[in-house]
Amino acid sequence: MAHKPLESVNEAHIKAKRLLPKDVYDALEAGSDSGATMSGNLAAFTQIGMIPRVGVALPAQLDLAATFMGQQIEMPVVVSPAAAFAMHPDGEVGVARAAERAGTAIGLSNVASVGIEEVTKANSRSFAQLYWSGDRDVIAARVERCRKAGVKGLILTIDLSATRVAYNPRDWGSPVYPDGINLATLVKYAPMAASHPTWFLRYVKQRTLPGLNAPNMGTVGGPVPTLVGGLMEWLGTAVPTWDDVAWLAGLWGGPLMVKGIVAADDARRAVDAGATAISVSNHGGNNLDTTPSPLRFLPSVVSAVGDQVEVVYDSGVRRGTDVLKALALGASTVMIGRPWFYALAADGERGVYEVLESFRGTIERGLVSLGKSSIRDVTIDDLVLPDGFLIDTDLRHTRTTARQGV
| Residue numbers annotated as active site | 283
Exposure of 246 by Cβ count < 10 A (0-12 exposed, 13-18 middle, 19+ buried)?
A: middle
- Residue 318, marked binder: yes
> Do residues 50 and 325 touch, judged by C-beta distance below 8 A?
yes
Q: 181 - beta bridge partners? A: none
Nearest alpha-carbon partner for 109 in 70, 145, 135, 79: 79
By residue count, the chain amounts to 406
Q: 46 - beta bridge partners? A: none
> Do residues 258 and 156 touch, judged by C-beta distance below 8 A?
yes
**Beta-carbon-side half-sphere exposure of residue 368 (alpha carbons within 13 Å):** 10
Dist CA 230 CA 9 (whole Å):
30
Other beta carbons within 10 angstroms of residue 139's beta carbon come to 21
- Residue 315, marked binder: yes
**Beta-carbon-side half-sphere exposure of residue 112 (alpha carbons within 13 Å):** 28
- Residue 283, marked binder: yes
Q: Judging by DSSP bridges, how do beta strands 310-314 and 277-280 pair with one another?
A: parallel
> Do residues 9 and 323 touch, judged by C-beta distance below 8 A?
no
- Residue 109, marked binder: yes
> Do residues 274 and 245 touch, judged by C-beta distance below 8 A?
yes
> How would you classify residue 250: left for phi > 0, otherwise alpha for psi between -120 and 50, otherwise beta?
alpha
- Residue 316, marked binder: yes
Q: 3-class DSSP state for residue 222?
A: coil
- Residue 174, marked binder: no
- Residue 131, marked binder: yes
Q: Which residues contact 268 (CB under 8 A, 6 or more apart)?
A: 304, 305
Dist CA 121 CA 148 (whole Å):
12
Extract the annotated binding site for glyoxylate: 131, 283
Extract the annotated binding site: 81-83, 109, 129, 131, 157, 259, 281, 283, 314-318, 337-338
Extract the annotated binding site for FMN: 81-83, 109, 129, 157, 259, 281, 314-318, 337-338
